[in-house]
C-alpha cells in the first residue's frame, strides 16, 4: 500500500472505529455518541482491538505533520452530519474494493486534472443531493458497462 493510501486508510479507519479522541491534549473532546470510549472499546472483539492497536502503532511511527493531518481529517469527519459520515464510509468501502490498478488509474486521472477543474468538480459534487450523486454513479456504471460490451463486440 502506498503512503498516501495508507494515510487515507488510517484516517478513515480511526474515524470509523471511533478511536477515542482526547488522547492528546490538543484534541477537542469527543462529540456526544453512544457510550463512553471505554464502553465502545469493550464492545470490540479481540481481533478488532489488535487491529486497532496495530494501526495505532503505525500511526505513531508517522512524522508529526502527517499525524496532525490525520487528526484534522478525523475531527473533520466526526463533525460531519451522520448521513455524510455514512456516505464517506460507503465511499471508503467502494475504494477498498477497487483493484490496485483501478486505484492507480483513479489517482492518475485526478493528478492529471488541472487544480481548478478538481475544485470545480469538488464544488459540483458537494452541491449535489445524495440522490443526484447516486444517479450519477448509476449512469457512470452503465456507461462503463456499455463501453466494456462495445469493446467485446469489436473483438468479434
- Helices 64-79, 46-61: inter-axial angle, 10-degree rounding: 130
pLDDT of 49 strictly over 90: yes
Pair 7, 69: CB distance under 8 Å: yes
Rounded Cα–Cα distance for residues 82 and 80 (Å): 6
CB atoms near residue 11 (< 10 Å): 21
What pLDDT, on the 0 to 100 scale, is given for residue 45? 92
Residue 89 in grid coordinates: 464510509
pTM of structure: 0.51
CA angle 43, 92, 40 (to 5 degrees): 15
Residue 144 in grid coordinates: 462503463
Q: Which residue has the higher pLDDT, 51 or 17?
A: 51
Pair 71, 27: CB distance under 8 Å: yes
Pair 10, 59: CB distance under 8 Å: yes
pLDDT of 94 strictly over 80: yes
The 10s digit of each residue's pLDDT in 98-143 is 899 999 998 998 899 999 998 888 888 888 888 888 888 888 888 7
Amino acid at each position: 500500500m502506498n503512503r498516501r493510501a495508507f494515510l487515507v486508510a488510517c484516517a478513515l479507519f480511526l474515524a470509523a472505529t471511533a478511536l477515542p479522541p482526547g488522547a492528546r491534549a490538543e484534541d477537542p473532546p469527543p462529540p456526544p455518541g453512544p457510550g463512553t470510549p471505554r464502553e465502545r472499546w469493550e464492545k470490540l472483539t479481540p481481533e478488532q482491538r489488535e487491529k486497532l492497536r496495530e494501526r495505532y502503532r503505525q500511526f505513531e511511527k508517522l512524522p508529526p505533520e502527517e499525524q496532525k493531518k490525520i487528526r484534522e481529517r478525523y475531527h473533520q469527519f466526526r463533525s460531519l452530519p451522520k448521513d455524510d459520515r455514512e456516505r464517506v464510509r460507503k465511499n471508503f468501502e467502494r475504494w477498498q474494493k477497487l483493484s490496485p490498478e483501478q486505484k492507480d488509474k483513479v489517482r492518475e486521472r485526478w493528478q492529471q486534472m488541472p487544480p481548478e477543474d478538481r475544485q470545480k468538480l469538488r464544488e459540483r459534487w458537494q452541491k449535489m443531493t445524495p440522490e443526484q450523486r447516486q444517479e450519477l454513479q448509476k449512469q457512470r456504471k452503465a456507461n462503463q458497462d456499455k463501453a466494456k460490451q462495445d469493446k467485446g463486440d469489436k473483438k468479434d
